[in-house]
Structure 1
Amino acid sequence: MPKKLQYSINLLPKDPFFNTRLGRFLSWSLGAGRYIVIFTELVVILCFASRFVLDRRVHDLNESIYQKQVVIQSQSDFEREFRLAQTKIQNYQQLEQQSNLVEIFPLLQQIIPNGLRLERLTIKENFLMGTGVAVSNEVLNDFISNLQLSPNFKNINVGRIESREEGLSGFNVQFSSSFSL
């Protein structure tokens, strides 16, 4: 029996272009490109799906912030009353300090000699700072001695002694001290 002949009909003949380097590269890139496109589509689908999770988290966070704002607003009356009480306490402390102010002036009057003019005097609680002008060296020495000899003044600090500007006689003096009544 004679052999059967088989015929193969190829309707798409191989293009000789795909046997060249450029052809092989294009064939490879088309195959790899398919996988890249599929991978990119998977990433896009994952991003789209994660959007729902992230939206839920944002919604939960906004809800939590709103609840905390409500709690803070409900405490605002208490905070206002608390701050009012604090200012009353501070005002009372300042008034109490002012009673010390009245008592310190007779002491200052005793230790400040004639010829010393105070330009600035700051009194806070049990501490005073001042600047003044002494007309002579003797007046300045008397003032410093009186400060040191007075039992009411402690931690005396004479920060600066300098002669006045040209044409003016005397000395500028800066001092500080703690005091007790």
Structure 2
Amino acid sequence: MAARKPTIDLLSREDLSQRPVGRLLLWILTVGRYIVIFSELVVISGFIIRVILDRNLNSINEDLLRQKAILASYLPTEQRVRRAAQQFATISRIEQEQQDLGKLLEKIGQVSPKDLRFSNLSLDPRTMEISAVALSPSGFSTFLGNLQADPGIGDLILQSVESGTAQDPGIHFRLTVEFVGAPSLLQTQPPPTEEEQL
């Protein structure tokens, strides 16, 4: 009799799902399948969200370009309005200064005695320089006293005092008047800023 050849059977006759290794493999396959499905869903939803966000971004960029074009079309109008507002502010300030100058000259006329002649009067916002001739010492002292009594005037600085000649009698003097803070009659508002204009 011939010798029987040994056979190797790699497949177990027992049910694999009943053994612990088989149950572990079955559980790993089931969980792995769910993990793969979940990962694919995450990737697909990420792709869909990316497409939606890209479309929204393109739409927003197009809207921004349209809005920029609209704003650029209004730029010349805005510049004209700003220029007109600046011109209006300048005109208003000049008119106010002219009114204040008229009031100041009227006030100087009120405090000046009759025998006082002005040869030069210059103004800036903080000081006033006067060159004048007083025909009498009493007129000179009255003028200085009236200026000192004014609450809007701070310091009086006498630059020069000279006696007149026979051809030009009187007391020739140069006087600098410093106003307190800003002069009450020359007080002007600063030009408005761009925010105030709009």
TM-score normalised per structure 2 = 0.44
Which has the greater radius of gyration? 2
The structure with higher relative contact order (CA 8 Å, sep 6+) is: 2
